[in-house]
């Protein structure tokens, strides 16, 4: 049976790279995102892509999109829970509460809604089970300067990962998390030009090819359900993470 995966945030960046890796590997891939044009670009040249435009913060839209994928494929093997946003760094008293709410709505509530939809399908399908891979961040462990909303959201993802892992045992649903550091996407281009450091300086940071993230997620997803990568960190080797600050 052909393996199936839904990828949220599939219209660009890490989501697009991961989607193309799975498409090239022969998986049936459901691409979730708000912009249909971006999803179409990610799917270019691949007949095994299923476009599922929706907003991950909208429960009804997510449930409908995941339901469409299940109706098309008959089963769901993996969710890569990837959709997320960031915001410009600043001390906490300079951050907008509205911006905080928007980031938490996408990064935390959106991840919960998508995981909830996937879990429901995996629990009820036959054979029962599946895998959820949450996109965390190295910020889930060590914060970057001025990143209170983003860091808090990624700590929440770790809590979500751990509880889904526990709740899923009864239903053969595995859950793991990939924490990524300085993968070169459009969002990370600034790192090649100089970004603020904890000591107040501006410095260029090492980056890595986003393809290494894609191959890592593919490895996690292809394990049998009796095995699980609970947490994986994949990062640019020399980035300021070990000993950050």
Q: Classify the C-alpha dihedral 202-207-213-214 as positive or negative.
A: positive
Clarify whether 241 is annotated catalytic. no
Q: In this structure, what token pair is assigned to residue 9? A: 């945030």
The residue from 80, 150, 164, 218 that is catalytic is 150
CA–CA separation, 74 and 196 (whole Å): 48
Alpha-carbon span 84 to 29, nearest angstrom: 19
Phi, psi of 202 (to 5 degrees): -115, 130
For residue 112, what are the CA distances in angstroms to 8, 117, 227?
A: 12, 9, 23
Q: For the chain, how many helices (H) and strands (E)?
A: 7, 11
Q: How far apart, in Å, are the Cα atoms of 226 and each of 76, 131, 173, 222, 229?
A: 17, 11, 10, 11, 11
Tell me which residue of 18, 47, 72, 48 sits closest to 210, measured CA to CA: 18
Strands 202-203 and 195-196, sheet pairing: antiparallel
For the annotated catalytic residues, the residue numbers are 150
């Amino acid at each position: 049976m052909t393996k199936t995966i839904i990828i949220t945030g599939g219209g660009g960046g890490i989501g697009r790279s991961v989607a193309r890796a799975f498409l090239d590997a022969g998986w049936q891939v459901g691409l979730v995102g708000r912009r249909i044009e971006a999803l179409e670009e990610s799917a270019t040249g691949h007949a095994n892509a299923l476009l599922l435009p929706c907003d991950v913060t909208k429960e009804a839209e997510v449930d409908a999109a995941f339901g469409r994928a299940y109706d098309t494929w008959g089963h769901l093997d993996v969710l890569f829970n990837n959709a997320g946003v960031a915001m410009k760094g600043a001390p906490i008293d300079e951050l907008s509460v509205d911006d905080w709410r928007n980031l938490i709505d996408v990064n935390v509530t959106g991840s919960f809604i998508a995981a909830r939809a996937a879990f429901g399908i995996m629990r009820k399908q036959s054979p029962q089970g599946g895998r959820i891979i949450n996109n965390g961040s190295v910020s889930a462990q060590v914060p970057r300067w001025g990143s209170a909303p983003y860091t808090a959201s990624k700590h929440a993802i770790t809590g979500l990962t751990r509880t889904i892992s526990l709740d899923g045992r009864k239903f053969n649903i595995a859950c793991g998390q990939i924490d990524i550091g300085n993968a070169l996407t459009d969002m990370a281009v600034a790192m090649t030009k100089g970004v603020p450091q904890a000591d107040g300086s501006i410095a260029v940071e090492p980056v890595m090819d986003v393809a290494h993230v894609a191959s890592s997620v593919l490895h996690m997803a292809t394990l049998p359900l009796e095995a699980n990568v609970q947490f994986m960190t994949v990062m640019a080797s020399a980035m300021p993470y070990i000993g950050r600050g």
